[in-house]
Amino acid sequence: MELTRRDAAAALAAVGATGGVAVAVRRVTDGADDGRGATDATDGDEGEAPPSEATVRGSMAAVAAVLYPSEVEGVEAFVDRFLDGRLDGSAHAEGVRTAVGELDDAARSWYDAPVAALSESERDRLLREVGADVADEDPEGTLAERVRYYVVNELLLALYASPTGGELVGLENPQGHPGGTESYRRGPR
């Protein structure tokens, strides 16, 4: 099932711009016990410096390829378009950048390569080693909780609040999507 431009627009319509009240992010400054790794990576985005926009987009698309079901196509373009609206200079966008940067740090430390350069199975393992699979999302929590919030759930929210994501489950107007007042009246197809 192909994710379309309309899906990305719909996902953004569901969650909108990230400014205002979405989250109250505290800048993470102490990575001593939260899984931040070494700074000997290779592309200049490592360490304390915030990752570039391209790195954030590449890492998020790489993670989405793991999180999204195999029958979904067009993931990279969908994530890119979704992030057009989410990486908007808000506190939430800063939280996404920081969490992606820390995930990349962990990848470099443990796999000697950034997230986007890992194989799909390595990305899956990285996310679980960070603890993002069992963590409850928390924008101000531990690394695992922040990765769950800003990376994993950010991407899952984008998919499953979109029409295509909803249709995967059998619900063409998922919660958060302004899909009108026709579908609730229709019977199963």
Partner 1 sequence: MSAGEPDRSPVTNADVCVVGAGPAGALVADRLAADHEVVVLDAGPRFDPADRLARQERAIRPSYDRPDVWDVGGERDAHANSGERVYPLNHARVKGVGGSTLHWQGMVMRLHEDDFNSETERGVGADWPIDYADLRPYYAAAERELGVAGASDNPYAPPREEPHPMPAFEPSYSDSLFAEACEELGIDMHSVPNARNSEAYDGRSACVGYGTCQPVCPAGAKYDATVHIERAEEQGATVIDCAAVGRLEHDADRVTAAAYATPDGEEHRQTADAFVVACGGVETPRLLLLSESDRYPDGLANSSGTVGKFFMDHLFAGVGGTLDEPTRQNHVGFYTSACDQFYDEADESVGPFKLEFFNYAGPSPVEQALTGDDWGDALLDRLRDGYGTHVAMGGLVEQLPRADSYVGLDPDRTDDRGNPVPEIHWSVGDRALRTIERANEVQRSVLEALGADIEWVAGPDATGPAYHHMGTTRMSADPDAGVVDADCRTHDLDNCWIASSAVFPTSGAMNPTLTIAALALRAADDVRERLTHTL
Binding site for partner 1 (CB under 8 A): 13-22, 66-71, 124, 133-134, 136-139, 149, 152-153, 156-157, 159-161, 166, 168-181, 183-188
Looking at the Cβ atoms of 32 and 184, the one nearer to partner 1 is 184
Minimum Å distance from CB 174 to partner 1?
5
Helix (H, G, I), strand (E, B) or coil at 97: helix
Minimum Å distance from CB 44 to partner 1?
30
Minimum Å distance from CB 51 to partner 1?
22
Looking at the Cβ atoms of 20 and 89, the one nearer to partner 1 is 20
Looking at the Cβ atoms of 16 and 44, the one nearer to partner 1 is 16
Minimum Å distance from CB 157 to partner 1?
6
Fill in the DSSP letter of residue 162: S
Looking at the Cβ atoms of 50 and 141, the one nearer to partner 1 is 141
Looking at the Cβ atoms of 22 and 28, the one nearer to partner 1 is 22
* H runs (alpha helix) in the chain: 5-15, 53-67, 75-86, 91-111, 120-130, 143-147, 153-160, 163-169
Minimum Å distance from CB 42 to partner 1?
28
Q: 88: which 2 tokens?
A: 């908007």
Q: Which residue from 139, 143, 158 is spatially nearest to 60, judged by alpha carbons?
A: 158
Q: Angle at CA 83, nearest 5°, toward 70 and 16?
A: 105
- Give exposure, 155-164, as e/b (b: 16+ Cβ within 10 Å): bbbbbbbbbb
